[in-house]
Amino acid sequence: MKTLILIVLVLIGIIPIQAMATDCTIMLHGLARTSTSMNKMERYLERKGHYVINDTYPSRKHKIKKLANDALDASLKKCQPDQKINIVTHSMGAILFRQYIETHSIKNLQHVVMLAPPNQGSEIVDKLGNLPGYKLINGPAGVQLGTDETSLPLQLGPADYSLGIIAGNKTINFMLSTFLPDANDGKVSVEKTKLEGMNQHLVMPVTHPFMMRSNKVIRQVYYYLENGEFNAEM
């Protein structure tokens, strides 16, 4: 009866729909992408009862610290005070989260899933970052993602939260893959996605630009958010 009353109150607009969900899941897309790249996963998680915040941030306009503070401050304000907070990131979105958590605490943080995160940078930035036009295309944040002494990801701390990482080992960008050692997804090598303190690392046969739209990846993300681990049998 209580659940029925809550549903009626939501339908007539007295209670906001986000108040019905116990989980508030924040998504952070990658460099030069928008929230549209994550909307298939967003719809899936919503059907499973999550309140999802999937907003576009101006990934090519600022350095990572400002992007992180602006994006996460705005998203966290949309969650209810008693909701559990999950974070799902793709590519550079993971570095925004890591930058934010260095100086902020997130109340009720439950699980974090990173898709193809350049947690140890990408050799592609080392090779191409100084070429004319690279910064114009990728912005000031894009040049912070290398693997040398200027690498921002390498300056950030290990995970002290429940973290699952999914890396891809298939590529459709064979030119960029020539800059990457070993298995890679066309933008980041599998090895560079790893982060000290992570709970679990899963490699799947998916590519960097499309992995967040893979049905199998989406199901693994949901499973981790619910259980704190991936399902190797899925």
Q: Render pLDDT for 17-50 as a digit per residue (tens, 0 to 9).
A: 666 789 999 999 999 999 999 999 999 999 999 9
- Tell me the CA distances in angstroms from 95 to 18, 126, 178, 223, one per residue in order: 27, 17, 24, 23
- Asked whether the predicted pLDDT for residue 8 surpasses 60, the reply is no
Question: What was the pLDDT predicted at 17?
Answer: 61
Buried/exposed 1-38: b ≥16 CB within 10 Å, e otherwise:
eeeeeeeeeeeeeeeeebeebebbbbbbbbbebeeebb
The CATH number assigned to the domain with range 24-218 reads 3.40.50.1820
**pLDDT tens profile 190-205:** 999 999 999 999 999 9
Q: Could you say which DSSP state residue 27 is in?
A: E
Q: How large a percentage of the chain has pLDDT more than 70?
A: 92
pLDDT tens-digit map of 102-140: 999 999 999 999 999 999 999 999 888 888 888 888 999
Other CB atoms closer than 10 Å to residue 55's CB: what's the count?
15
Per-residue model confidence (pLDDT) at position 161: 98
Strands (E), the chain: 23-28, 51-54, 84-90, 109-115, 162-168, 200-204
Kindly state the average pLDDT of the residues 82-99. Answer: 98
Residue 7 above 50 pLDDT?
Answer: no
SS (H, E, C) 28-87: ECCCCCCHHHHHHHHHHHHHCCCEEEECCCCCCCCCHHHHHHHHHHHHHCCCCCCCEEEE
What pLDDT, on the 0 to 100 scale, is given for residue 105? 95
